[in-house]
Amino acid sequence: MSVKLKGRDLLSIADLTEEEFWELLEFAKLLKLETLAGKRHEYLKGKTLAMIFQKPSTRTRVAFEVGMYQLGGYALYLSSNDMQLRRGETIADTARVLSRFVDGIMARVFDHQDAVDLAKYANVPVINGLSDEEHPSQVLADFLTIWEKFGTLKGLKLAYVGDGNNVAHSLLLAAGLVGMDIAVATPEGYEPKPFYVEKAKELAAKHGSSVQVLRDPEEAVTGANAVYTDVWASMGQEAEHEERLRIFKPYQVNPSLMSHADKHAIFLHCLPAHRGEEVVDEVADSPQSAIFDEAENRLHAHKAILAMLMGD
């Protein structure tokens, strides 16, 4: 196991080099094989992870909590109701105090700046478990899944259809980093932030791939090896739900849209899925769907992150 990432934070895919990204994927694959073989790997024996959840989650909590257990450590769940954060205590003080108690912090936050500030003031590794800007831990699991299905990443095409959100941002960066073509299709006004598009293009130029931001979902999906979507209204956007349903309807992933992809294409979704909205059952439950393999890989990808950042 490399020591390059030991003690580091992981707030963004941009924090990683191509070599480090692949080290995490390769280690996740090894941990998965060991887990399936019943082999124990206590890289974090006696260590504790504080898990800050401003936003609830099924997969993020279970993957990090079970991951710490399987690595020999302990995970402490801290919801907004369990903490003084934002109720008088500053993020800086929270980070400094937690650093005296735990060996790492995973934070699932609304505002990306909260994760940045936690990392600034903590003297233990901080992992972004989701923010409004990025979802790096999810995307490592996504790319592990694509790698398993195709045996490579470079030269493939990933199509993302829907809201240009945090997941889209991290997918753009990761695709550029590994030399995968990516096409993102969104309605007008819902594009990924220009910073992430430009950064992805810089990375893609170095690794021989392309980045496209389009309007037409069929154009984006044409020839794609993997088709990815996410919910149209994330947590905190409930008031926009009905309006978003109307705007995003042409971006639904259904059999008609999937027919434009490569015949061996897989379907991905970070879950939870709002079936009947961004994706229909005929795709989510089809032989092309890899969403549950992808969900399982959250565990193995998260374990790799934890072990490489927090391990001895």
Q: Give the catalytic positions in this structure.
A: 108, 135, 138, 230, 270, 298
Give the DSSP letter of residue 14: G
Q: Determine whether 290 is exposed, middle or buried from the number of CB atoms within 10 Å of its CB (0-12, 13-18, 19+).
A: buried
Rg from Cα positions in the chain: 19
Measured from the Cβ of residue 241, the count of other Cβ atoms closer than 10 Å reads: 13
Nearest to residue 154, comparing CAs of 1, 22, 287? 22
- Report helix, strand or coil for 102: coil
Instruction: Give the whole-angstrom CA distance, residue 306 versus residue 43.
Output: 9
Q: How many helices (H) and strands (E) does the chain have?
A: 12, 9
Strands (E), 125-230: 126-130, 157-161, 181-185, 211-214, 226-229
- Start-to-end C-alpha separation, the chain: 10
DSSP state of 130: E
H or E, element range at 76: strand 74-79
CB atoms within 10 A of CB 34: 15
Identify the DSSP state of 234. Answer: -
Cα–Cα distance, 115 to 3 (Å, whole number): 23
How many other C-beta atoms can be found within 10 angstroms of the C-beta atom of residue 217? 26
